[in-house]
Amino acid sequence: MRIKFVDLAAQNLEIRERVDAEMTELHQNTAYIGGPHVKAFEEEFAKFLGARRAIGVSSGTDALRIAMIAAGIGAGDEVITTPLTFIASAAAIFQTGARPVFVDVDPDTGNLSPSKLRSYLSEGHWSAPNGPRAILPVHLYGMPAPMSEINEIAQEFGLKVIEDACQAHGASIKTGQGRAMAGTMGLAGCFSFYPGKNLGAWGDAGAVVTNDDELADRIALLRDHGRLSHYAHEEFGYNARIDAMQAVVLRAKLELLGEWNLRRRKIAEAYRNLLAKFDVTLPVEPDGIESVYHLFVIRSDRRDAIREELLINDIECGIHYPVPLHLQPACRSLGYRHGDFPVSEHIADTVLSLPMHPHLTSRQVVRVATAVRTALQPNVDLAAGAAKGDKDSFAERLRA
Ligand SMILES: Cc1ncc(COP(=O)(O)O)c(C=O)c1O
């Protein structure tokens, strides 16, 4: 049986009853745009994160773009981010009129490196007239970036911090007062509810969270044609609203998110135990940081061999990301070259994302780990019962 990379159908089974009932009601009252479900979801998501406000928008990319525009970022500004992320982090910066500037990542976590950030800012060679105005850290794979260091640097250089929390719903960092959620430690935090995320909709959706009421009001205005009332428009805005059907799905899944994240952490622990003695680099969780393992990403110089073994065994996997952003054709005009960000480039050449979702069974986890181990050490002893059972059925399929 195929092991899926993500299993959205299994999630749907858990929410079906509630969503069916609420969709039926929605089709009767036909409040498809805005309405009580959107408002309730915004309140519930803000509460889940411990933030003052959450504003639903149409995608994670729009969350980033609109948060930055509302924060006053635009033409002539630089926004600093990491090259080891999804294209949308840089695209959203570009869409505000600002220039994306990359700083290399920490070799252990793959998140923005505070020391390299400081070096860039201290050198003072800007590529846009106004110089840096903001930092956009990405909580890569669900692992929070080092926010206290980043915030300290931002304060020192007078920069705003907009968090790309699109992969980190519910991830947290220990603070003096308890724990702070990813997305709530900067001026604004941006989330994607793309279906495969830890909290995923049945289509595109996103949200911005912030503790700043003025910023929240401007974001709410910008996402809806700059609207004050139906035909009163304060400024030119966007059509970037979240729709009520997505809010229905997200409200139902939000109730389960804590439990689903816990299951992801348990699966990550099982992978760690099964792969500990093998020659692969496992994700590092720095002290006080709690990842929600949107992805479980291992590293190996033999990445391609492991990938092949997984595929032969009918196990889906991914590479996040095979090309760092500074080497993407879309970023050509920024003038970066191969070798500019060696850590990100090395990571891109060696990473492999194993199946990770809350409905993976322990038997499946063993099967994945066994395939990884086989690729690394072809004579591995497959003593574990579950692994042996799976291996046998695989052998049977090969014979068939
Ligand atoms: C790090 C990161 N930033 C931004 C986005 C963009 O989100 P969306 O696809 O909802 O626009 C994603 C989603 O894939 C992401 O992973």
Residues with CB under 6 A from ligand 1: 59-61, 85-86, 88-89, 138, 164, 166-167, 192, 194, 204, 206
Answer positive or negative: Cα dihedral of 137, 143, 147, 150: negative
Q: How far apart are CA 349 and CA 115, in angstroms?
A: 23
Distance CA 240, CA 153 (A): 32
Which of 85, 139, 166 best tests ligand 1's pocket when mutated (most atoms within 8 Å of CB)? 166
Please calculate the CA angle 181-183-184 and round it to the nearest 5 degrees.
65
Q: Amino acid letter at 311? A: L
Residue 347: what pLDDT? Answer: 98
For residue 385, the model assigns a pLDDT of 40
C-alpha–C-alpha distance, residues 283 and 299, integer Å: 8
Rounded distance, CA 328 to CA 182, Å? 27
CA of 166 to the centre of ligand 1 (A): 5
Q: What ligand 1 atom has the least distance to the C-alpha of 62?
A: 11
- The domain spans of the chain are 8-253, 256-399
Q: 176 C-alpha vs ligand 1 centroid, how far in Å?
A: 30
321: cis peptide before it, omega within 30°?
Answer: yes
Structural tokens at position 178 = 């308890």
pLDDT digits (tens, 9 = 90+) for 47-98: 999 999 999 999 999 999 999 999 999 999 999 999 999 999 999 999 999 9
Mutate which of 5, 59, 61 to test ligand 1's pocket (most atoms within 8 Å of Cβ)? 61
Which residue's alpha carbon is at the smallest distance from atom 8 of ligand 1? 60
Q: Which CATH architecture has domain 256-399?
A: Alpha-Beta Complex (3.90)
What is the predicted pLDDT for the residue at 378? 67
Q: Are 204 and 58 in contact (CB under 8 A)?
A: yes
Q: Ligand 1 centroid to 400 CA: how many Å?
A: 41
The fold of the 8-253 domain, in CATH, is Aspartate Aminotransferase; domain 2 (3.40.640)
Asked whether the beta carbons of 57 and 33 are under 8 A apart, the reply is: no
Question: How buried is residue 233: exposed, middle or buried, by Cβ count under 10 Å (0-12/13-18/19+)?
Answer: middle
Ligand 1: centre distance to CA 167 (Å): 7
pLDDT tens readout for residues 236-262:
999 999 999 999 999 999 999 999 999
Residue 72: alpha-carbon gap to chain centroid: 24
In terms of Cβ atoms closer than 10 Å to its own Cβ (0-12, 13-18, 19+), residue 54 is: buried
Q: Are 199 and 257 in contact (CB under 8 A)?
A: yes
Instruction: State residue 377's pLDDT score.
Output: 85
Per-residue pLDDT of the chain (400 residues; tens, 9 = 90+): 999 999 999 999 999 999 999 999 999 999 999 999 999 999 999 999 999 999 999 999 999 999 999 999 999 999 999 999 999 999 999 999 999 999 999 999 999 999 999 999 999 999 999 999 999 999 999 999 999 999 999 999 999 999 999 999 999 999 998 999 999 999 999 999 999 999 999 999 999 999 999 999 999 999 999 999 999 999 999 999 999 999 999 999 999 999 999 999 999 999 999 999 999 999 999 999 999 999 999 999 999 999 999 999 999 999 999 999 999 999 999 999 999 999 999 999 999 999 999 999 999 999 999 999 999 986 555 444 444 444 443 334 333 3
Report whether 197 contacts 183 (CB < 8 A): no
| pLDDT on residue 399 | 32
- Of all atoms in ligand 1, which is nearest to the CA of residue 85? 1
Tokens 């003052």 locate to 52
Atom nearest to 140 CA in ligand 1: 1
Measured in angstroms, how far is the CA atom of residue 192 from the centroid of ligand 1? 6
